[in-house]
Amino acid sequence: MGFSSKPFSLFLHSLIFLTNLELIPLAKSVSNTDLVYKGCAKQAFSDPTGVYSQTLSALFNSLVSQSSKARYFNTTSGTGQTTISGLFQCRGDLNNAECYNCVNKLPQMANSLCGKTVAARVQLLGCYLLYEVSGFAQISGYEMLYKTCGSTNVAGVGFQERRDTAFTVLENGVVSGHGFYTTSYQDVYMLAQCEGDLGDSDCEDCVKSAVQRAQVECGSSISGQVYLHKCFISYNYYPNGVPRRSSSSSSSSSSSSSGTGGNTGKTVAIILGGAAGVGFLVICLLFTRNLMKKDDDI
């Protein structure tokens, strides 16, 4: 099934994201508001009267206000040629307060990273925002916006087979999870999320395309992320299991993740970091959050 026409066709093929990316700096702590990448249109809008700036500001205000109520929202602001379409989405395991705190950072970041461009997308660890001025053409939902593969390759046989089995579980699970799913299989931890306006069938197709990209692009790499226009996947391999480590996170949230076999409670090891070290820290953060939730339920 193909993607239905939507107003959020951010960028033409000539807008190459890989020339406009910011990678997350390796740090001692990880926050949902850490930058993963940015994509900025090279064309700035002409705004002698300030109408575009006012319209964009109104759009940002609408998106931020909705982020305390929902994990996904799309809307438009302005009229005619000054119409600007936009949306935000938060990671599926964030609660309303965490979603708001993440999205609230995005307007200022979009302005500082991209300036007054006719289209922009800013992806953080916990959420992303995109907008475009009226008139941009559609791109495929399968268009790859960003990818990264860990620098360490797994030696020996069996890893790729293990990872590919986990990928199959992920492809099926994202359908039952209605667009968000985390899982683990023999120490391979995975996450997939689709844009909130995708139906289950389109989401499955998008995730399958992202999986194929990861298999080709990352090979035997120990970790990888692939962001397509309408979905993303992430995986990380920990042969000794996810290390238990203290986290600065002060809250826990319910997760829509699911698992395989008897390991359901351990499948929120979500990999979102752009480098192996960052992936490790995010795994620890979210794994600890899950342990905190378990303790609250006792």
C-alpha to C-alpha distance for 102 and 130, rounded to whole angstroms: 14
Q: If you search the block for the tokens 């922009």, which residue do you land on?
A: 120
The string of pLDDT tens digits covering residues 164-222 is: 999 999 999 999 999 999 998 888 999 999 999 999 999 999 999 999 999 999 999 99
Residues 6+ apart with CB under 8 A from 79: none
Tell me the one-letter amino acid at 251: S
Tell me the one-letter amino acid at 50: G
Q: In what order do the strands lie in the sheet with 223-228?
A: 144-149, 223-228, 231-237, 188-194, 180-185
Residue count of the chain: 298
Tell me the one-letter amino acid at 289: R
C-alpha to C-alpha distance for 60 and 62, rounded to whole angstroms: 5
The string of pLDDT tens digits covering residues 9-48 is: 434 333 333 333 334 333 346 789 999 999 999 888 888 8
Q: In Å, what is the CA distance from 211 to each residue of 167, 233, 268?
A: 7, 7, 19
The string of pLDDT tens digits covering residues 217-268 is: 999 999 999 999 999 999 999 887 766 543 333 222 223 333 333 222 222 3
DSSP 30: -
Q: Provide the token pair at 148.
A: 């990264």
- pTM recorded for the entire structure: 0.74
C-alpha to C-alpha distance for 206 and 108, rounded to whole angstroms: 30
Q: Provide the token pair at 55.
A: 């319209």
What are the b/e assignments for 32-47, b being 16+ CB within 10 Å?
A: bbbbbbbbbbeeebee
| Mode of pairing for the β-strands spanning 72-77 and 84-90 | antiparallel
